[in-house]
Amino acid sequence: MSVNVLTQAYSAIVNCIKTSVKITNINTGVVVDTFGIWDTGATNSVITKSVAKQLGLTPVSYTRVRGVGGLMPTPEYLVKITLNNENITLVSRVTECEELSAEQDTGMLVGMNIIRLGDICITNFDGKTVMTFRVPSLETINYVEEVNLHNKCLKIHELNIAKRLPDKCACGSGKDYKNCHGKSLYHK
């Protein structure tokens, strides 16, 4: 199986996750290099009017989008999207939107139709934001389950010590607690 990955790492905490995006007109091969803001609030990905114009795109359909003047017919395009100039490439339907930045350097919102294809994680450890994304999805990450298992293993470890029993980790790994959940991040 081939897993495609990208990481965007910052040297500080950021309020907006933005990655470089290459958008290609499938019919003509014309390419626009721009930036995409990752937006879990956007159902579908969108590209700005100026990007659509630069690419010379022809709408494949129209969708109704709620705007200031009510529901407005809005063009939809089919484009090839390459994320972060790394190896995540996909063909996606995108809706046209108004400009996202005054400098027009942000040409896209990366919406849930792309994000849901894989696993995404945003961490802010040590004062640095890191976003990492992979396609396809490989694993469920659930911090609540992690903490619950840590607590259970710690409790049974304490009982084992009190009763002078062999101290196997309660997670079922077969390892000694000190070499397993005894090393859990949640001890910090």
| Residue ranges binding Zn ion (CB under 5 A) | 169, 171, 173, 180-181
> Nearer to Zn ion by C-beta: 110 or 169?
169
DSSP line for 36-82: EEE-TT-SS-EEEHHHHHHHT---SEEEEEEETTEEEEEEEEEEEEE
CB 106, min distance to Zn ion, A: 44
CB 138 → Zn ion: shortest distance, Å?
21
Least distance CB 141 / Zn ion (angstroms): 17
Closest CB to Zn ion among residues 120, 156: 156
CB of 114 to Zn ion, least distance (A): 35
| Distance set, CA 132 to CA 6, 38, 61, 93, 117 (Å) | 6, 11, 32, 23, 13
User: Minimum distance between the CB of residue 164 and Zn ion, rounded to whole angstroms?
Assistant: 20
- Is the omega angle on the peptide bond into residue 75 within 30 degrees of 0, that is, cis? no
Between 62 and 186, name the residue whose CB sits nearer to Zn ion.
186
Question: In this complex, which beta carbon is closest to Zn ion, that of residue 53 or of residue 183?
Answer: 183
* Cα angle, residue 183 at apex, residues 177 and 185 outer, rounded to 5°: 135
Q: By CB neighbour count within 10 A (0-12 exposed, 13-18 middle, 19+ buried), where does 181 fall? A: buried
CB 52, CB 74: distance < 8 Å: no
> Please, which residue, 117 or 171, has the CB nearer to Zn ion?
171
